[in-house]
Chains A and B, each alone.
Chain A
Amino acid sequence: MFGVIISVFLGFILGRFANVIPMNVVKKGIMGFICLLLFLMGISVGSDDSILASLGSLGIDAFVVTMGALLGSCALSWVLWKIFSKQFTESQPDGQGGEQ
């Protein structure tokens, strides 16, 4: 995973200080690499009979984790809403500066 983190960092430096590659090319690159990697990931899954056989139970695992993560996020955002909702109901014309 070091390679991953270093790659992001190097890209960040390039993008921040010396960007020579047009952004639309970079974004096409991102889309292209994502499609390639998901294709390769699909091949890994398709050629692995045990994963295919357990797809149903993998789906259940996914569902359970999703619900947990969603509940956690919604619960904490509810706390924030309790604190900040007044800011939104005193209808302000543009944006809501929290700290003035």
Chain B
Amino acid sequence: MRDSVIIIAFFGIGVAVGRLFDLPDFLLSADTTRYALWALMFCVGITIGGNRSILTAFRSQGILSFLLPLATVLGSWGGSAAVGALYDKMPVMDAVAVGGGMGYYSLSSIIITEAKGAELGTVALLSNIMRELTALLFAPLIMTVFGKLAPISAGGATTADTTLPIITAVSGSNFAIISIIHGIIIDLTVTFTIPVISAL
């Protein structure tokens, strides 16, 4: 939670600085952003490569630990594509890129900004924050309407940490492990798919 506040604060401060000051070109340069993004993704890659424990957890939970993230991903892509198709203002692939963040607002908005510009990046930031907030605030309702796996699907990439407490409160503590595995898999999925989707 504290991390989320810090991240959003940096964005807010950036907006204020951009609004108030005429900045030297190097700060606005695409190169700085690109190298910082590569460095970020390199670090993310290290954490993925170094994570052995997920395989053990995966094996203990059975096929659902694979099927649930799959449902989340296909549902997010399908749902956002449908919105993109119906909503004239937004191309389908833009909508899929935004919806494909599945709550991982920091990484997805950064990658989308790099690929498609700050306007869609802002939509991605807003959308994925909304997803996390909706999963947090409406978990009980989501569970009642869609069943006990739905709060996990709704939470997307956040279910290993931010939304884990509300998920276990609403669905039960026996969903904790599957929720954590789900969060990690969705994190991975976003990391690998958003760069590809936003380049299409």
Give CA–CA (A37, B130) in the complex, Å: 20
Q: Specify which chain B residues have a CB less than 8 angstroms from the CB of A23 in the assembled complex.
A: 46-47, 50
Q: Specify which chain B residues have a CB less than 8 angstroms from the CB of A70 in the assembled complex.
A: 79, 131, 134-135, 154
Q: Judging by beta carbons under 8 Å apart, are A58 and B147 in contact?
A: no
Q: Judging by beta carbons under 8 Å apart, are A76 and B75 in contact?
A: yes
Give CA–CA (A7, B80) in the complex, Å: 28
Question: In the complex, which residues 13-63 of chain A have their Cβ closer than 8 Å to any Cβ of chain B?
Answer: 13-17, 19, 21, 23, 26-27, 29-31, 33-48, 50-52, 54-55, 58-59, 61-63
Given A69-B102, A79-B71, A85-B147: A39 in contact with B45 (beta carbons within 8 A): no
Nearest residue in B to A51 (C-beta to C-beta)?
B119
A interface residues, tally (CB under 8 Å): 79
A56-100 interface bits toward B, Cβ cutoff 8 Å, 1 = contact, 0 = none: 001101111111111111111111111011011001100111110
- Whether B199 sits at the interface, judged by CB under 8 Å, is yes
Q: Judging by beta carbons under 8 Å apart, are B71 and A30 in contact?
A: no
B interface residues, tally (CB under 8 Å): 109
Q: Judging by beta carbons under 8 Å apart, are A73 and B174 in contact?
A: no
Q: Judging by beta carbons under 8 Å apart, are B49 and A19 in contact?
A: yes
Nearest residue in A to B47 (C-beta to C-beta)?
A26
Give CA–CA (A97, B12) in the complex, Å: 45
The count of A-to-B residue pairs whose CB atoms sit within 8 angstroms is 336
Q: Judging by beta carbons under 8 Å apart, are A80 and B83 in contact?
A: no
Q: Nearest Cβ in chain B — how far from A9, in angstroms? A: 6
Q: Judging by beta carbons under 8 Å apart, are A75 and B146 in contact?
A: yes
Given A8-B41, A85-B147: A76 in contact with B71 (beta carbons within 8 A): yes
Q: Judging by beta carbons under 8 Å apart, are B13 and A39 in contact?
A: yes
Give CA–CA (A17, B50) in the complex, Å: 8
Nearest residue in B to A46 (C-beta to C-beta)?
B18
Measured CB to CB, the residues of B under 8 A from A are: 3, 6-8, 10-20, 23, 27-28, 32-34, 36-51, 60-65, 67-68, 71-72, 74-80, 82-84, 87, 89-90, 95, 98-100, 102, 106-107, 109-111, 113-115, 118-119, 121-128, 130-131, 134-135, 142, 145-150, 152-154, 156, 172, 174-175, 177-178, 191-192, 195-196, 198-199
8 contacts between A and B (CB under 8 A): A13-B45, A33-B40, A37-B33, A41-B121, A42-B15, A67-B83, A68-B95, A85-B148
Measured CB to CB, the residues of A under 8 A from B are: 1, 3-5, 7-17, 19, 21, 23, 26-27, 29-31, 33-48, 50-52, 54-55, 58-59, 61-82, 84-85, 87-88, 91-92, 95-99
